[in-house]
Amino acid sequence: MNTDFVLYLAINTLVVIAVSPLFVSLIKKVKAWTQGRQGPSVFQTYFTLIKLLKKEVIYSPNSSRIMRVTPLVTMAAILVAALFVPLVFVPEPVGGMGNIILFMSLLALARFFMALAGLDAGSSFGGMGSSREMSISSIIEPTTIVVFAALAFVFKTLNIFDMFAISVSTGSPSLSTLILIGISLFIIIIVETSRIPVDNPETHLELTMIHEGMILEQSGRNLALMELSAAVKMTALMALLLNLIVPFGITTSLTLAGILIALILLVVKCSILTGIIGIFESSMAKKRFFQLPSLFAMAFFFSTLIIIIEVFS
């Protein structure tokens, strides 16, 4: 492992933790605007996280060790997964770093522990959240695999670092493929980050919750970790989409100026994407739970189409 890579690890982790809460607030802001409201400050998520970090953690007497380790495991898994997606600087991959299958497995690991923690406290809403999350993921995971397989076909590699390097240096593949990849990855983002029409991140209705239901029993700094890991996951997935489709700005050499420019461009690109997500969310109601597969089917269909195009063209 060279110094560049060690620097990459530090820079990527710092950047992702620093900017993720901003995008969560930005989506809220965009949604508030569509409703004619002012909405909370764009820094509200930072304030909330700081507040939560100062609060004590309360465990249900029914809960086991699972409840205690889940926030750490989730945060760790998501942070490692975020390292697989270079935000501002693409180094040479080292070892299994950047492997897209491993990336997906890390997300699955975090989700698995979150679902366990939802069941752990023994409350009915946690259990419902976990059961729903598992039902959804059993459908969305095969779809994710197909989407990632399509990426692998397009870029002829399983490594996200290489994909980014290719899209930066040689430009992107054809426009049609780009659009299809974009739609597929967009749906993956919506599902993975529990947004409308899959789940409602702002709901107070305990009976409709999925993601919120699972973390209902979390409190204090544990809740802060859960919230932050959800934000980091969203940023990583957004960066995956953006750096494949509009790769300009991301640097392959480690210079201060390059990294600063890349960082600014990343924030700008992600902000635009959060705007799109916010408008997309505002434009429709949540789907009925059992009709969700129709949304995943779209991602599945487009990815299959990419594979067919790539194989036969």
Residues that bind another protein (CB under 8 A): 31, 34-37, 124, 128, 132, 196-197, 200, 202-208, 282-291
Q: Which of 197, 200, 199, 212 is nearest to 298 (CA)?
A: 197
> Which residues neighbour 116 within 8 Å (Cβ) at sequence distance 6 or greater?
66, 70, 130
The minimum distance between CB 33 and another protein, in angstroms, equals 10
Residue 5 or 125 with smaller CB distance to another protein: 125
CB atoms within 10 A of CB 225: 23
Residue 65 or 204 with smaller CB distance to another protein: 204
What are the phi and psi torsion angles at 99 (to 5°)? Answer: -70, 125
How far apart, in whole angstroms, are the C-alpha atoms of residue 87 and residue 287? Answer: 32
How far apart, in whole angstroms, are the C-alpha atoms of residue 250 and residue 258? Answer: 8
The minimum distance between CB 143 and another protein, in angstroms, equals 20
The minimum distance between CB 134 and another protein, in angstroms, equals 12
Residue 255 or 283 with smaller CB distance to another protein: 283
The minimum distance between CB 275 and another protein, in angstroms, equals 15
Decide if 16 contacts 229 (C-beta within 8 A).
no
The minimum distance between CB 213 and another protein, in angstroms, equals 10
Residue 65 or 288 with smaller CB distance to another protein: 288
Place of tokens 């959240």: 129
Residue 13 or 203 with smaller CB distance to another protein: 203
Residue 211 or 269 with smaller CB distance to another protein: 211
What are the phi and psi torsion angles at 60 (to 5°)? Answer: -65, 145
Residue-level length of the chain: 313
